[in-house]
Amino acid sequence: MHLAVSLNIASGQPLAFSELASFAKQAEVVGLDVIILDDTVPDSGGSESPFEATTLLAALATVTSRIGLVAAASTVAHQPYNLARRFASLDIISHGRAGWHATMAQAPREAANFSRPEGFSADDFRRRVEEYIGIVQGLWQGWDADALLFDKVGGHFHDPSKMHLLDHKGEFFSVRGPLNVARSPQDTPVLVMSRVSERVFDLAARSADVVLLDEAEDAKTRHDDLKRRVAACGRKPDAVKVLVNVSGARSDIDPGRLEELCRSKSCDGFNMAMSPSAFGGFVEGVLPELRRRGLVHQGYPGTTLRAHLGLAGGDQ
Amino acid sequence: MTRQMKLGAFLWATGHHIAAWRHPKAHVAAGIDIDHYIQLARTAEAAKFDMIFCEDAAGLREADVGIASQTSRSIGFEPISLLSALAVPTSRIGLVSTASTSYNEPYGLARTFLSLDRLSGGRAGWNLVTSASPIEAANFGATGLKPHADRYERAREFAEVVRGLWQGGSFQGHDGQSFSVRDPLDLPRSPQGAPVMVQAGASDVGRDLAARTADVVFTAAQTLEEAKAFYDDLKGRMAAYGREPNDIKIMPGVSPVVAETEAEAREKHEELQALIPDDVGVALLSSYLSISDLHRYPIDGPMPELPETEGMKSRQALVVEQSRRDGLSIRQLARHFAGARGHWRVVGTPAQIADELQARFEGGGADGFNVMPSYFPGELDAFATLVVPELQRRGLFRREYEGSTLREHLGLKRPA
């Protein structure tokens, strides 16, 4: 099974970069697939975050070499062209280990800080997110993997027929493209979706690489429903990985429960939300037990995040 | 201590020369090689540069896909992610990135740069641009470029909001013409008070905005007279905003070609010029002049009369003046501009280049220079190992960093 650790960097005292770097290195040593960096928006509690997630991801990429790095970035805070560019760049900086965590729910106070005091209606937000994701994924495919020629003598830097305009004109955005960042070693950054309600299951089935679902009684039903829709889009059911969110705040992850969800094929793995301080307890207390039960792999099968997750793309 | 010059290492693609990527010693894969950039950053830091400077455009540089494919500028790293990565393997050098006020929101931009600033221990700066390219506009739903004055009015409001947000918890919210922001940032204050604000616009409204908000101004000047006129004008505007002349560092771009002997330097320069295809040179010149039909005029004839544009007004005036002054044909002008993009080019030995920089610096035309190497890594290495020691020997440049933040390097006040 796949293991992600989701880090809410805004909880508790603001962490120093060195503490976050140690955490990332430790997560890599024990072979987790991916670190997911949350990005908070101001709430009434006024919690402080030490860093913005995409900049933190870039910095962490330089102190790690294998583990996947996913950052949250809001569709309200960024224009789609800018977001696509940031992540395409992060994917090259990390040698194909980056992903974008897109949340399908509107953060309550966010729009008011981005010149949209009225926010978006739920319906508008959903249609806008759908259009947005289509643009980002389209931009990520603007350059073919063999587009760069580097022919100094002939004077051909790239092959213009392998660079593609997007020419998107939609309800909320119009974006001509192409992106001015090359194709990454894993083809495109991994798209992780969270807060996926039934209403956006079809969008997730069509576009996501990873879907984060909350732990619930009906986990199996929802997993099967999503995978059925993935197949209905003409994708292999395995092309989307379902990770169930588990809280590791009190180091109380129950290996038996994880095994049960895994063996009943209710998910492809887990996303453990925890603070860096709780992570040590997980590594010493829970991970050896998961290994003993044969549930987690040792070491990385490849070099890219797509390779770790068993997703197609790149040179694996 | 005598006044010392500030130096920026302006990193761009395979080099600032349009044909840089074709040079045998240029690293052609720069735009996909993070280790290359880490090496450049270390070189610049070892030479005690004040900062690394990255420019940016959210789109292709050339409208014509055939022209674009003969340059290395269609792909590269997005600069904020690039500088965030460079913050880790460096410890002293400033990290300055360009970002547009036309295609961002102040809250997101302020937050991202503050994060870079915190990751680097107080070494970040933002170079404000309003974006003059219709190619960029087409990636943001815009059907055409907004008028120059409107772009600057938006930029003025944008900069005001960003500055307020960087002041932390005292931010009271903003409800203005282009932007509304409710909350203060959710990040702790900057280790240097606030990231450094850089600006490049040289038009009348651009100068006023700089006089009001900028810490550093990046500019293009061909001669000492031009440089001095700009310098005096900008510093003269600052009093109106309650600022002292020393609160802004003016750093013109300089594109040096350096070698041990003058003959070698000239040969190196000629070698680069010969690599420029004519159609690429003319296209580049056209885009700098914001005109689309320059290729219709005879290439060996003079520059045609130009209409008023909504693009880069200041750059256009500079080019027209130079073509008249030197009696250059379109081809000659295209090659000349393709090489240094309208910036000042000096070709010579380390002592000759140091002489030129010293004359501008001491002649009242500059507080420092943004160094634009022709190709990477070779020409940054050459400046760092040949010119910097000569400047240090003359007491014109630091031998060690004075502090740890970019504001300290630049001798700027810490904002309240």
Identify the pLDDT of residue A249.
66
Two tokens, residue A300: 């990385």
User: What digits encode the pLDDT tens for the residues A100-148?
Assistant: 999 998 888 899 999 999 999 999 999 999 999 999 999 999 999 999 9
- Residue A178 touches partner B, C-beta closer than 8 Å: yes
Pick B58's closest partner by Cβ from A55, A82, A115.
A82
Given an 8 Å threshold on Cβ–Cβ distance, is A117 in contact with B112? no
Given an 8 Å threshold on Cβ–Cβ distance, is A59 in contact with B182? no
Identify the pLDDT of residue A316.
42
Mutate to test the interface with A, among B84, B111, B112 (most CBs of A within 10 A): B84
Contacts of B247 (CB under 8 A, 6+ apart): B215, B238, B412, B413
Pick B138's closest partner by Cβ from A41, A176, A182.
A176
Identify the pLDDT of residue A184.
93
Mutate to test the interface with B, among A95, A115, A162, A174 (most CBs of B within 10 A): A115
Would the pLDDT of A40 be above 60? yes
Mean pLDDT computed over A25-38: 95
Identify the pLDDT of residue B309.
63
CA distance A202 to chain B (A): 27
Mutate to test the interface with A, among B18, B86, B136, B186 (most CBs of A within 10 A): B186
- Residue A65 touches partner B, C-beta closer than 8 Å: no
* Rounded Cα distance, A223 and A238, in Å: 12
Q: Report chain A residues whose CB lies below 8 A from the CB of B172.
A: none
Q: Report chain B residues whose CB lies below 8 A from the CB of A150.
A: 21, 28-29
How far apart, in Å, are the Cα atoms of A6 and each of A23, A74, A107, A276? 12, 16, 18, 10
User: What digits encode the pLDDT tens for the residues B53-80?
Assistant: 999 999 998 888 999 999 999 999 999 9
How far apart, in Å, are the Cα atoms of B38 and each of A184, B82, B83, B99, B380? 19, 9, 10, 21, 13
Identify the pLDDT of residue B5.
98
User: What digits encode the pLDDT tens for the residues A238-257?
Assistant: 999 999 999 876 557 889 99
Ranges of chain B whose pLDDT falls below 50 = none
* Rounded Cα distance, B379 and B385, in Å: 10
- Which of B109, B83, B58 minimizes the C-alpha distance to A81? B58
- Residue A150 touches partner B, C-beta closer than 8 Å: yes
First to last CA, chain A: 18
Q: Report chain B residues whose CB lies below 8 A from the CB of A98.
A: none
Pick B111's closest partner by Cβ from A52, A174, A178.
A52
Identify the pLDDT of residue B28.
98
- Which of B276, B248, B230, B233 minimizes the C-alpha distance to B375? B276
Q: Report chain B residues whose CB lies below 8 A from the CB of A140.
A: none
Mutate to test the interface with A, among B78, B162, B178 (most CBs of A within 10 A): B78
- Residue A175 touches partner B, C-beta closer than 8 Å: yes
- Which of A82, A91, A105, A302 minimizes the C-alpha distance to A204? A105
Q: Report chain B residues whose CB lies below 8 A from the CB of A10.
A: 186
**CB A215 within 8 Å of CB A248:** no
Q: Report chain B residues whose CB lies below 8 A from the CB of A79.
A: 103-104, 140
User: What digits encode the pLDDT tens for the residues A42-93?
Assistant: 554 556 788 999 999 999 999 999 999 999 999 999 999 999 999 999 999 9
Please report the residues numbered 14 through 33 in chain A whose beta carbons come closer than 8 angstroms to any beta carbon of chain B: 14, 17, 21
Identify the pLDDT of residue A278.
85
Pick B81's closest partner by Cβ from A81, A89, A152.
A89
Given an 8 Å threshold on Cβ–Cβ distance, is B57 in contact with A46? no
Given an 8 Å threshold on Cβ–Cβ distance, is A40 in contact with B74? no
Given an 8 Å threshold on Cβ–Cβ distance, is B183 in contact with A10? no
Shortest CA distance from A75: residue in chain B: B108
Helices (H), B278-349: 278-288, 313-326, 330-340
- Residue A174's DSSP bridge partners are A169
Identify the pLDDT of residue A314.
62
Q: Report chain A residues whose CB lies below 8 A from the CB of B89.
A: 62
**CB B273 within 8 Å of CB B235:** no
H or E segment to which residue B379 belongs: helix B378-382
pLDDT-above-70 percentage for chain A: 95
CA distance B108 to chain A (A): 6
* Rounded Cα distance, B332 and B299, in Å: 9
Question: Which residue matches tokens 């013109």?
Answer: B252
Q: Report chain B residues whose CB lies below 8 A from the CB of A85.
A: 58, 78
Two tokens, residue B268: 């190196």
Pick A47's closest partner by Cβ from B23, B32, B186.
B186
How far apart, in Å, are the Cα atoms of B167 and each of A77, A278, B124, B187, B195? 20, 33, 15, 11, 10
Given an 8 Å threshold on Cβ–Cβ distance, is A59 in contact with B119? yes
User: What digits encode the pLDDT tens for the residues A189-202?
Assistant: 999 999 999 889 99
